[in-house]
A and B are shown apart, each in its own frame.
Chain A
Amino acid sequence: MGTADDEEHDWEQLNQTNWRGLGVTDPIKNVEDKWLLLPAFLKVKGLVKQHIDSFNYFVDVDIKNIVKANNKVTSDVDPRFWLKYTDIHVGFPDRTDLDAIDKSITPHECRLRDITYSAPILVTIQYTRGKNVVKRPNVNIGRLPIMLRSSKCILTGKSEAQLARMTECPLDPGGYFVVKGTEKVILVQEQLSKNRIIVETDPVKGVVQSSCTSSTHGGLKSKTYVATKKGKIYLRHNSIHEDVPIVIALKALGIQSDKEILLLTAGNTEAYKLAFSANLEDAARLGVFTRHQALEWIGTRVKVNRKVVGPRRPAWEEALEALATIVLAHVPVNGLDFRPKAIFVATMTRRVLMCMDDEKMVDDRDYVGNKRLELAGQLLALLFEDLFKTFNTNLKSAIDKVLKKPSRTNEFDAFNTMQFQGDHITSGFVRAISTGNWSLKRFKMERAGVTHVLSRLSFISALGMMTRISSQFEKTRKVSGPRALQPSQWGMLCPSDTPEGEACGLVKNLALMTHITTDVEEEPIIRIAYMLGVEDISLASGTEIYGPHTFVVNVNGTIIGLTRYPTRFVTNFRRLRRAGRFSEFVGVYVNHHHRTVHIASDGGRICRPMIIVEDGRPRVNSGHISLLKQGHLSFDDFLRQGLVEYLDVNEENDSYIALYESDIVATTTHLEIEPFTILGAVAGLIPYPHHNQSPRNTYQCAMGKQAIGAIGYNQFNRIDTLLYLSVYPQQPMVKTKTIELIGYDRLPAGQNATVAVMSYSGYDIEDALILNKASLDRGYGRCQVLRKNATLIRKYPNGTFDRLADAPLDDNGQIQKKYDIIQLDGLAGVGERVDPGDVYVNKQTPTNANDNTFTGQAAAVPYKNAPLSYKSPVAGYIDKLMVSDTENDQTLIKVLIRQTRRPELGDKFSSRHGQKGVCGLIVNQEDMPFNDQGINPDTIMNPHGFPSRMTVGKMIELLSGKAGVLSGKLQYGTAFGGSKVEDMSRILIEHGFSYAGKDMLTSGITGELLEAYVYFGPIYYQKLKHMVMDKMHARARGPRATLTRQPTEGRSREGGLRLGEMERDCLIGYGATQLLLERLMISSDKFEVNACQECGLMGYNGWCPYCKSSKQMAKLTIPYAAKLLFQELMAMNVVPRLILDDA
């Protein structure tokens, strides 16, 4: 009876038409165009938001904290003197030229003039002058290079027209610095998270250890381990000589009773108790029972490095200080309350115990949630703190020096001393950013290669560089773990974009929607946690902490309390965050394995936005999207209204995220905004990447950065060392949404080539391409190479200076051929052709420039020629010539020389699917096959490129491209979406083509039909920067190295081609002795020496200076290198003797 009732009830449920307004049979309503949130996000945040946000945080917040922590300068001489920094701010970039009237400056001027785009750092100081306290605002203490498009940059918030006036490209993402005219990027650095416990095992040694790197806001870093050794647990720290048995450590931290120690570490779990008991015995055996004994034990083993010689402190005091300040420095010790630190050590111990019991409890170092990314702002903050501290010590010693003088004529004003402090801060910043060496002794930091020159090869290469993350692991180590693709990278780091070879997997790239957090103050967060019912940890005992229903609450790795209702707590906490009561970047999640709740507000976490799902329905609906489309809502409004939220990796793993709306079930918490955001900006260029074999996408990510195209709207105003530009770039026929979002359609790097996939002529093996000569005649693949040549017109300390001269006349009164483009000002005319060897800047330098004793008239000194002459074997044209001043008033001349190149045999091309190839043959148009419409292909690609590469995406690109051409529309190849093959085939059929994209071709040579149908249509092809003209090299005779007289090496030195060791082995094996002799000596560095048969030493002119005779002299030919070796040996008191014999 009851069962029947139940059944009936079930049926009723199913038949109910209205469940939240939806019937069971109603189709699931999709939020149309929810991807529009992505452009909205990029509009607010930009493509390189992580760099800019980090820098903004530094100049707006962090710099103030640093000054607050170091705000007082006192004097050892005069105890009444003090100087206080009350405020600091960074101004806007301005011109440093003293005589300038208009102080405004643009980044582009800095690039052109080789100066630094920097802004003054201004402080407000208060100090004593005599008996008065003086306040001075806006005191300049140095200059800070400003990140482009940051809050301090003049480009921020400017319209396209305003940017155009400043010759700046609106599509340029910013996020880099201009230092001494070069664009420098501070790459994102990946590190293990700080202040968190990580448990690892070494299965070989059987060691389990939990470690924690403490980092406090003073830059002090130390690592504390709790590790097993022979079954027992020890605490290990650099500042303590010996491993401290864990029980002694805990006793020293104020947990005296063994019972309490056992409760805090092992809790009530029998297995843990058993494993731990040995440690208790260990402490007893060492005779440590009380806290004092424990401190004494540790105190005798603490490394003391004290500079101040004072009375020696007792050992237990040393131990107390070490435990309070050095060991686990991030856990606060207020007064002498060691309880929180003791619990932290106990937790570390418990984690070791847990892991000893169950190996699965180890942490994964490579898990993205355990990583923190260090950005420009953090690195600059460290640098600034170091420089500021040095500045203050210098200031202090300067003040002391003045105050030491017993009688002064006028009252001492510290402001004047400050003005004479030099440019320590300015030069410190400039040096660090331009060399990339962050060597901060104060923070034990020694890093090289932090900054890189922004690659401007193409727009994509610049963009790709801004999203790059470099790992701190050394590249030589052959471990696969850190290099492997982590499941937790989903949506955060691009799965495709990583280099091949040694840095594979260590250098990563951010995905499209990722954001990196900056620090959020944690005190208010802790207060909120307490308000939401968290009980203070200091009040809890071991029984409570490890009770069956309690969860420990952590804030940034520090244990703050307990809660019995973790789910409720987390829900309430999230509700507050969604309501905007605190920063949206504070993450919270429950770890059920460790029975903890973690709240994270530290900087450097990777996070991304997601749509919130409540009760099985996404909170974003079509209404919101239409408001967004109309521009009434921005991304920030979505955040503020609690429709979307940021999730970091840890919180993401605590959520149930639906990829599509149809996947939403009752337990779903979030909805992805758009699946293709899993890819980064560079991988986003690939059409249909989800149809490709995955390494192909990775190859394309590397090659997309080498493609020649447009690099910026200001490309014709730039004077870069090397600039590759495409003459006729086209936007791809098959676009992706990413392409539109990043602006690749406006700054493209490639052309839509009509491709026939067939074999032709045999010159297309090994991926070689056949090109149509008529296409090249009409401008396909044409590119420009612009090279900068710069020189300084110097003024020397002795009063002499360089000068420019007009073209000299030869004996006949004619201008020499190589000077024919020099005009009266000594510079080549713009637009002139520069032939190899031509002089384009006729500079002359004084012969006595370095002679400091010279006092004569500067005009009367003799000059020698120091012209700039053109080295390339192919003629170029003068594109631009700039004469300007650098920061230190030297005249700077930059000459841009241009070559226009059409594709030739051996130039490298690539499609967007990692399919590169060189041009193998250029065929006349009449020899090319043609289809019924009379269309010739621009390129013929060999079909053997497909089976092993499995780039199905390329085939679909061709199909979509062809359909697009026929219907006059651009098609989409967006990842996990894009135009469907079915639809494309339908368009082809409608236009009278075969559904498969295969055309019937006629051979251009025989005029007969080809027996096979040929896959024929447009594919976007990129021309890569590797061109034959830059590589081609051969030599018959040429220069030799001075020391060894052997031919030079390398193309740039017109070097020879080396007959290497392996080639030598072949000739030896073959027995070609005479050939060997010719290659290795006669054609290289043969040298005739006179050797004495008597003493075996070398002489000269048939005379042996050792034997003082010419009787036994013989002439022989040896390599000059051998002669050099003998002489060098003789210089080291080793006598090599030649023993000659008739062969």
Chain B
Amino acid sequence: MAAATFDTRKHVGVYAEHVSNVSSTDYPGHYPHEDHSWDPDQFRQKCNVQVNRLSNRSIDFDLVGVDASIANAFRRILIAEVPTIAIEQVYVWNNTSVIVDEVLAHRLGLVPLNVDPSFLEFKESPSIQATDRNTLVFKLEVTCTRNRNTPKDVTDPKMLYNNSEVLSSDLRWVPQGEQEEIFAANIPTPSNPNIVLAKLRPGQEVNMELHAVKGVGKDHAKFCAVATASYRLLPLVVLNPEKPIPPSSAHKFQKCFSPGVIRVDPVTKEVSVDEKNLRNESMSREVYRHVEFEDCCQLARVRDHFIFNVESEGFYPPERLLPESIKVMRSKIATIKKAAEGLLASKDSNADVEMAEG
């Protein structure tokens, strides 16, 4: 097997007490006395994105052939800079629930909304007038009453009372101005209708007006477009042909890895790595704990193979998240590019160049 050799250029070494060769060179992919000048064709050949798993709420994909800085940039943008809509202002008309106004407002803010942010503009500061272009209005009006026709011995509050819980589904969108037409296809609602916001008992009510605006995750976690966005490097297990695993401890060796990573031949008890399941290895370094497996294998991770896991909880379907982050990245690059060109143009004037926000 060709992959089964450790190469410091390609791999990050995983040892019992440390990780080696974590960084690539100062110029990733460049080495002294070798020509690695950037070639779009070569890049196109090397760079590869492959979706492994896609569900309603999450996506697993591999990003291969880029440097950690690029992969990390996407991760960071996903967390901090992909815009979403969340409730920002809460106007409390009445709240007689046990949860106080600020806490309920905080909880409301964290409710993910199913709204396409591209339809709204940023409301840059609270002093700017709220318009139908930058603000969505929701109403929350819930009153708890006693349910008259429940049997005597029932103790479940859900049956005893009407509206014993304020749920995210109780949020009612109130269209403003042109919004009715713009959002006709996709009525703004919370993306999860079952979030308990407060509990009520007969006589208590909640009556508030909520204003949702567009924002980014670095301002507040409620604007975060993803639930998680993270990656790990592809694991690699390199067996040492010099020192094979004794058949007696083959199963013990197998147990040191995640299920399916190590194959044991039922007859010969010969141990081999299952390349297909290798990505499932959790890198628990359990092999290094056992003296008898010393030098039997080497753990490593592939430097440029990023296994992304992105979970979405808001508006974006998981497969749209990476393109969104690329969009943000491109706009950032465009800003830099413009500023750099401006810098070149006014080389002599020595003046500062305004960087427009992208």
Contact = CB atoms under 8 A, between A and B. Distances in A.
A716 B98 contact: yes
Contacts of B20: 1011
Contact of B100 (A777, A879, A1013): A879
Interface string A982-1006: 0000001100111100001010101
Interface in B266-290: 282-286, 289
Interface string B71-111: 11101100110000000000010010010111100100010
B335 interface: no
B204 interface: no
B302 to A, nearest CB: 12
A1006 B72 contact: yes
Given A900-B100, A1010-B19, A1013-B18, A773 B228 contact: no
B68 A779 contact: no
Contacts of A1013: 17-19, 285
A925 B221 contact: yes
Interface stretch (A759-767, A907-915, A926-934, A1069-1077): A926-934
Interface stretch (B38-46, B184-192, B229-237): B229-237
A1008 interface: yes
A1116 to B, nearest CB: 54
A492 B118 CA distance: 69
A164 interface: no
Given A934-B309, A994-B286, A1006-B23, A900 B79 contact: no
B19 A932 contact: no
Interface string B220-262: 1110100011111100000000000000000000000010000
A40 to B, nearest CB: 28
Given A924-B218, A995-B289, A1007-B72, A831 B19 contact: no
Contact of B22 (A932, A993, A1004, A1008): A1008
Contacts of B229: 934
Interface in B283-310: 283-286, 289, 301, 309
A1002 B306 CA distance: 12
Contacts of A1004: 72, 76
A784 interface: yes
B80 A784 contact: no
Given A989-B286, A995-B286, A900 B19 contact: no
Given A994-B285, A1011-B18, A1013-B19, A926 B80 contact: yes
B213 to A, nearest CB: 16
Nearest to B12: A1009
B14 interface: yes
Contact of B80 (A900, A925, A1006): A925
Chain A interface size, under 10 / 10 to 19 / 20 to 34 / 35 or more: 35 or more
Interface residues of B, number: 48
B69 interface: yes
Contacts of A779: 106, 110
Contacts of B75: 926, 1007
Contacts of A1006: 23, 68-69, 72
B217 interface: yes
Nearest to B94: A831
Given A778-B221, A926-B80, A1009-B233, A784 B19 contact: no
Contacts of B73: 1007
Which residue, of A879, A925, A934, A1012, has the highest number of chain B Cβ atoms within 10 A? A934
A1009 B80 contact: no
Contact of A898 (B100, B231, B282): B100
Given A992-B284, A1007-B71, A773 B221 contact: yes
Interface string A2-20: 0000000000000000000
Contacts of B23: 1006, 1008
Interface in A170-213: none
A777 B220 contact: yes
A898 B106 CA distance: 15
A1007 B308 CA distance: 12
A315 interface: no
Contacts of B228: 934
B221 A877 contact: no
A900 B232 contact: no
A155 interface: no
A727 interface: yes
B221 A932 contact: no
Q: Which 4 A-B pairs have the closest CB atoms?
A: A1007-B72, A934-B230, A992-B282, A777-B221
Interface of B: 12, 14, 17-20, 22-24, 68-69, 71-73, 75-76, 79-80, 92, 95, 98, 100-103, 106, 110, 217-218, 220-222, 224, 228-233, 258, 282-286, 289, 301, 309
21 contacts: A774-B224, A777-B221, A779-B110, A784-B103, A877-B101, A898-B102, A925-B79, A925-B217, A925-B224, A932-B282, A933-B230, A992-B284, A994-B285, A1002-B232, A1006-B68, A1006-B69, A1007-B71, A1009-B19, A1011-B18, A1012-B17, A1013-B17
Interface of A: 716, 727, 773-775, 777-779, 782, 784, 831, 877, 879, 898, 900, 924-926, 930, 932-934, 988-989, 992-995, 1000, 1002, 1004, 1006-1013
